[in-house]
Amino acid sequence: MENQVSEVLTRIKKLGHEPDELVLSLGEPKIKAMTFLLKKPRYFKEDILKQVLKFKSDTGHMPEWVRIDAITSREELQYEDLIAEMTSIRRNYIPFGIRLDKTAMMTFLPEEINANAFMKPTGEGSNIELSENNVNAYLKRHKKAKRPFLHRNYVGKTVEKFHTQGFLIDGDEVVELVGEGMDRGLRKVQNLNKELDKLITTSTEFLASEIKDNGKFIYGYFSHFDREINFYNNLRHASSTYAMIEGLKYLNRSVTVARKPINYLIQNKLIKRNDETYFVYDDTNDMNEIKLGQNAAFILALTEYLTMEDAPTYLRVAQRLANGILDMIDFEKGETTHVLHYPSLNVKQRYRIIYYDGEAALALLRLYQIDGDEKWLDAVKKLFEIFIEKDYWKHHDHWLGYCTNELVKVAPEQKYIEFGLKNTSGHLDFIHNRETTFPTFLELLMSTYYLVNTAREHGFDEVVKENIDEEKLMNAIHRRADYERIGYFYPELAMFFKNPERILGSFFIKHHGFRVRIDDIEHYLSGLVHYQYVFKKK
C-alpha cells in the first residue's frame, strides 16, 4: 500500500498539481466509503497510511479500495449562486465538489453529492433542489454530524466549489481518473477492447446472477439507497434474456442459464388465440395486456438461443408467437396494433411506442433466418413499405437499424439501404456529443456500420456515399463505445453508494437515480458486444 500511495502522490505532481488538500475515500464492497479531508501537504503520505490502518483497526481488514482526490482548483461564490448553479445541472451530473464552511464535515466530493441524492426532484415538473433531508441523512449516518445542515444557515454567506483529480488504488493497481469535462471520473485505460471485454463479462454475469429460482429476474435497484425496484415487465424480461444470451455467446459460454427465464414465460405467460397463434401476456402490476413488442422480444430471445442450441420446443413457440405478431398487423390498412387486452384479446391501445414496430419486424426476420419460412420475410417486406411511406427513419430506432441490415442481406434493394442510412445519418452530431449515455445509441451506430458494409458488398457504394458521412459515423461509434463506460459501476464510483457489492460490475442510468435495471444493462451489453465483434479483431 505504501508504494501505491507514493506512486499516486508522484503522479499528481507530474500532472502539474501541487494541491494543498486531498480528499481520501476508503471503501470495500459491503459498506459505503468513508471520506477524510487531508490538509497538511507535508504529511499527505503519513496521514493516508494512518487512516488506512485505522480503517483496518475498525473493520478488521484493510480497505479494498483507496481513492485519493487532489483538489486542483477552487472558486468562492455566494451560497445562493451555488444553489442556482447546482439546480440548473442535470440530476446526478454535478461535476464539482462543494465546501459550505471550513470544516471537513461540510466538504463533499461530487461523488458524495451524486451518490447520496443530495439533489432531488421537487415534485414540480423537472425542477430539482438541494435536499436538506438527504444531506442530513448522509451527515448523520456517515459523518456522525452533531448539527444539521439547514439552508437558512448559509443564505448570504460565501461558500466554495472545487474540482479534483482522482486516483484509485485497487489492490496493487493504480488507476487514474479523468479530471475534467464530460468524461470526468472515468478511468483511463490503455487497451479499450480489453476493458470492454471485462465490462461485457461482468454485466453478463450480473444478469445471470439476477435470475431467481422461478425464472424471473430481480428487476433492478435504485442504487442511492439500495432499494429493489418493486415492478416487473415481461417485455423487458424477454429482451434482457436476449441480451444475456448475446453476452454468453460472445464469451463462448453455455447458454443453458437462459432456460430458466425462457421457460418462465412459456410456462406462465402464454395465451393462445388458437393452436397456431400465441401471445405473451403481462398481468404484473395490474397491466393485463399483450404488447406487440412483448411477442417480438421473446422471439428474439428464443431465436438467439436457437443459434447456440437445438431446441425444437422453443422453435415451435417462436413460430406461434410470430403468428401472434401477424395477427396484430393489418397490412391492408398499413397499421399495427400495439396493445391487446388480456385475457379478452380485444384491442386495448392501437398505438403506444414506435419501437414495437421495428422490434416486431426484426423478430420475424430472425425467425426467418432459423426456419426459412418465406411468410415471415414477406411480412417484413410489407412492413417496410409502411415504414418507408411513414418516414419511420425519423425515429432513429436501433431495432429498425438492425432489421434493415438483415433485410438488405436477403433483399438488397436501394430503398431499404437509403431508409436505413437516413435512420442514423442526421443524428450523428447529436449522438457524438450527448452527455447522457443513451446505450441504444451504440446499438443504432453498430447496426448502421453493418448496413454500410452489407450495402457495399452488394455494390451500393454510391448510395452509401450519398447518404451518410462515414468518418462521422466511425468517430461516433468509437466515442460512444468508450463513453458508455461512464454508465458502468466501477469500484471508484460504486464505493460511494449504500451497498457497493450489490451494483458492482453492472450498468446504470445516471439521470434516473443511478437506476440499475435489467433492460438498462441489456442495451449497454448488446451495443458493446456488437462493437467488440467488429473492432476487437482490428
Give the mean pLDDT of 287-297.
Answer: 97
Confidence of residue 246 (pLDDT cuts 50, 70, 90): very high
The percentage of residues in the chain with a pLDDT greater than 70, rounded to a whole number, is 100
Strand partners, 24: 36, 68
107: exposed, middle or buried (Cβ count in 10 Å: 0-12, 13-18, 19+): buried
Sign, Cα dihedral of 15, 16, 18, 23: negative
pLDDT, residue 538, reads 54
Give the mean pLDDT of 493-509.
Answer: 98
- Residue of 139, 115, 194 lying closest to 503 (CA atoms): 115
CB 149 within 8 A of CB 132: yes
**What confidence tens digit (pLDDT) does each residue in 147-203 have?**
899 999 999 999 999 999 999 999 899 999 999 999 999 999 999 999 999 999 999
Enter the CATH code of domain 193-390+488-535: 1.50.10.10
Confidence of residue 64 (pLDDT cuts 50, 70, 90): very high
The Cα–Cα gap between 198 and 370 comes to: 31
The Cα–Cα gap between 327 and 330 comes to: 8
Give the mean pLDDT of 280-297.
Answer: 96
User: b/e map of 365-404 (b: 16 or more CB within 10 Å)?
Assistant: bbbbbbeeeeebbebbeebbebbeeeebbebbbbbbbbbb
Count the neighbouring beta carbons within 10 Å of the beta carbon of residue 26: 25
- Coil/strand/helix, residue 155: coil
pLDDT, residue 102, reads 84
The Cα–Cα gap between 269 and 446 comes to: 32
Which residues, 6 or more positions from 242, have their beta carbon under 8 angstroms from its beta carbon?
297, 300, 301, 304, 522, 526
**What confidence tens digit (pLDDT) does each residue in 88-111 have?**
999 999 999 999 998 889 999 999
Amino acid (1-letter code) at residue 3: N
Mean confidence (pLDDT) of the chain: 96
- Residue of 20, 135, 138 lying closest to 83 (CA atoms): 135
CB 404 within 8 A of CB 357: no
Give the 3-state secondary structure of 426-492: CCHHHHHHCCCCCCHHHHHHHHHHHHHHHHHHCCCHHHHHHHCCHHHHHHHHHHHHHHHHHHECCHH
pTM: 0.96
Report domain extents, the chain. Answer: 2-188, 193-390+488-535
The Cα–Cα gap between 341 and 466 comes to: 45
H/E stretch holding 274: strand 270-274
CA atoms within 13 A on the CB side of 374: 1
